Structure 1
Amino acid sequence: MELLSQLINIVDQNPDSILVMRQQTEQRLPLHQHDKAQLLLVYGGIAYLQTEEKDFYIPSNHYIWIPENYPHNLMFNSQDLFIINIYFPGEKENGFYDELGIYPVSKLLSEMLSFSEKWQGDYHKGSFEFEFLSILKKLLSKENLKKFSIQLPTTDDQRLNTITDSLRMRLHENLSLESTAKLFGMSVRSLTRLFQRKLHITFIQYIKMLRIIRAMELIKTTDLNMTEIAYEVGYSNISAFSNNFLQLTNMRPSEFKISS
C-alpha cells in the first residue's frame, strides 16, 4: 500500500503538469485510480489491464487510454516488455477521452514518441514539452482508429472462476458446452445461464476469446509456426483460426507477429 500511495502522490502532486514515466511502476499494484488521465503505451509483449468489470489485453505497439479517476491495475509477464506512461491533467472532455479504449500506435504517433523518447518527469504549461505532448494527446482522437476489441469479463463467482480456470488449461482440447457441464456436474442449461448471468457472454464467445489471447501469447513468446499455434489453442482448421483472430484483433496472425 505504501508503494501505491507513493505512485498516486507522484502522479497527482502537480495537477496541471503532464508527467512522463518510463518505469513499469504500476505493475501488480492493487486496483487504483488517479486524478490525471493516462496514456499507457506497450512495446515488446502483451500487458493485461484489469478493471472492476473486465480484463483488457494490450498487445505490443498498442496503447490504452485510461480516463481520469478510472480504477485499474496493470499486469504483464514478458521480461522484454517496455511501457511508457504519460499522465495528463484531468479535463472535462466528451467522447474519446471519456472512454477506456485500446488502439494501435500509428506511424505519426510513433514518430512523435520517438522524438520525445528521452523525456521523463513533470512538464508544465508554457514549456515546449508540455505543448508538444498536448498536441500528441489531441492527435489521439483525430486518427479515428478502430478499437482493439478483446475484453474478458470477470466475476467474483467462485464456481464460475473454477470452471474458467480449467478451460484456460485445456484450450488444446475439443471443449464443448456439453462436456464442460458434465465435467462440473451441471446441466447444459445451468452452465449456459451461469455464463450469461455472471459474465454476460456465451460459453462459445468466451472460449473463442481465450483461444485468441493464448495464441497472441504463443506468437510473442515461442518459435511455433501459425499451424502449430492454431493446433495448440484448439483449432484443427488454420483458416478458421486466422478468421477468428482477424475478427477479434482486426489483423491476421501473421500481421500480429510482424507488429509485435
Structure 2
Amino acid sequence: MQPEAYCVHRSFEPADPSQFEVDRHYLLYALEGTIRLEADGQRWTLPPARAALISAGHPITITVLSKLTSASVLFATEFTKAPDHVLTVFDMSPLARELVRTCRDWGPENGPLSPFAKRIFETLADVVHQLSLVPSQCVLPSPKSEQLKNAVQLTEQLAHADPTFEDIATQSNQSPRALARRFADEMSMTWREVLRHIRIMRAVEALATTDAQITEIAFAVGYGSLSGFNAAFRRQMQMSPTEYRASFTA
C-alpha cells in the first residue's frame, strides 16, 4: 500500500505531447529542464522557477521541451485539501524548493510515513496551497487550429530575433488578415501580445535560473533596449526584472 504522500524523482528525455492523469493531487516540479502544460484551454511553460499544482482525476497535456529531472510530490486526496483549480502554475519560494528536496527521501516504496515525514509533507502541502493563491502571469491561451499552432510555434522559434507579423503569416502559409483573425478568435490576443508573452516567459526563466545580467537577458529574448524590456516586463509581471529575481532569494 502506498503512503499518504510521496515523492517521485525521475529523469525524462524530450517528448511530444501526451495526456497525463492521476488519482492524487500532484505537485509537478522540475529541478532541471522545461515542460509545457495545457489544461482548460490554457498553456504554461514550467521551468525550475515554477511548479504546477494539479487536481486529482483531471487530465492535462504535458510536453517535455528539454531533458527533464523532476521531483514531484503526490498527495492522497484525503491527505490535503483539493486545489482550487484543475491546474495552477505559480512561482516556487525558497522554502517550497527546500521542502521538495527534503521530500525526495520518501518514495512510494517506503511504506507508511513516519510522524516526522508526515509533518514535512503536510507543511509542503500548506506552503504550495498558499503559493497557488498567486498564480503565474506567464500563461497563454492554447491555439486550437493547426494553422495557428504553426504560427505560434514559428513565433516561439523566432522570438529572440526580430520577426514581423508578415513574416510569420508568410512562413505559415496564411494571409495576414486570416492569421490576425485566428489570433483574435482563438486566443483573444494580437500576435504582438503573444510575442510579448513568449519573450517575458523566457526572461522569467532566465532570471530565476541563471546569473545573467538583466541587460543580457533583455537582448537574448528579443528586446532592442533595456528600457523597452523593463516596461514590457513590468506590464506583464507587475514588478521589475530586478524585483522578480530578488523574490527567489527572499
In the superposition, the TM-score normalised over structure 1's length comes to 0.73
**1:153 and 2:153 equivalent?**
no
Report the identity percentage: 21
Determine if contact 2:53/2:132 at 8 Å carries over to the other structure: no
> Once the two structures are superposed, what CA deviation does each residue of 1:59-99 show, in whole Å capped at 9, x if it has no partner?
324321011112124344455x5421111112598884434
Q: How does 1:1-260 map to 2 (within 5 A)?
A: 14=2, 17-24=4-11, 28=15, 30-51=18-39, 53-79=41-67, 81-91=68-78, 96-121=83-108, 127-128=114-115, 129-142=117-130, 146-177=134-165, 180-181=168-169, 184-188=173-177, 190-216=178-204, 225-249=213-237, 252-254=240-242, 259=248
CA distance in 2, matches of 1:179, 1:98: 38
Amino acid at match of 1:53: G
Shift of 1:215: 3.8
Which amino acid letter does the alignment assign opposite residue 226 of structure 2?
A: I
How much is the aligned-residue C-alpha RMSD, in angstroms?
Answer: 3.7
Q: CA deviation at 1:236?
A: 1.4
Instruction: Provide the secondary structure at the position in 2 that maps to 1:74.
Output: strand
For residues 26 and 116 of structure 1, the distance between their equivalents in structure 2, rounded to whole angstroms, comes to 23
Q: 1:17 to 1:148 in 2, by over 3 A?
A: same
Provide the C-alpha distance between the structure 1 equivalents of 2:64 and 2:123, rounded to a whole number of angstroms: 29
Counterpart secondary structure, 1:98: coil
Corresponding letter in the other structure for 2:183: F
- CA offsets per residue over residues 158-209 of structure 1, 9 Å max, x none? 2222222322233244444456456645243x33221121223222211111
State the 1:136 CA deviation: 2.4
What amino acid maps onto 1:105 in structure 2? M
Aligned length, in residue pairs: 245
CA contact (8 A) 1:27 1:74 kept: no
The TM-score with structure 2 as length reference comes to 0.75
Gaps of 5+ in 1: 1-12
CA distance in 1: counterparts of 2:59 and 2:85, whole angstroms: 13
Q: Contact (CA 8 Å) 2:25, 2:82: kept in 1 or not?
A: no
Letter of the structure 1 residue corresponding to residue 92 of structure 2: V
SS of the residue corresponding to residue 21 of structure 1 reads strand
Q: Any stretches of 5+ residues in structure 2 without a counterpart?
A: none
